[in-house]
Amino acid sequence: MNAESPIERQILDYLAANPAARDTLRGIAEWWVLKQRISEATPTILAAVASLVAQGKLSARSGPDGQVYFGSPTGGRRTAGSAQPPERSSGGSGIGEAATNGSSDESRTNKRH
């Protein structure tokens, strides 16, 4: 009997939760495996974002859609010692309860089986 690799386990876990799921290799990678990894990493990312906001190293602003958007506290202005321009965020969930409500990516993911 062979031991399952972590990827094999994630695929089987997805199928256990979604027994009617069918997808291509790319779909399995993007929607089955990466979705699980994102879900597993979200609490750690939430803690890091909350810490950075509390330290003033990351800003949090409510958008017109009700989600919280995070970015540079300088609003894109370079500060002393910053060699790289700030990267544009593609959006995301807010801190705390907003993070558990799901983002638009998650609701799109749930439609794919």
pLDDT digits (tens, 9 = 90+) for 6-30: 999 999 999 999 999 999 999 999 9
pLDDT band at 32 (very low <50, low <70, confident <90, very high): very high
SS3 sequence of 101-113: CCCHHHHHHHCCC
More confident residue, 33 or 85: 33
Of 28, 5, 3, 6, nearest to 18 by C-alpha is 28
36 burial type by CB count under 10 A (0-12 exposed, 13-18 middle, 19+ buried): middle
Q: Give SS3 for 70.
A: strand
pLDDT band at 3 (very low <50, low <70, confident <90, very high): confident
- The residue extents of the domains of the chain are 6-110
What is the pLDDT, as a whole number, of residue 77? Answer: 66
Query: Looking at the whole model, is its pTM more than 0.75?
Result: no
CB 98 within 8 A of CB 67: yes
Averaged pLDDT score across all residues of the chain: 78
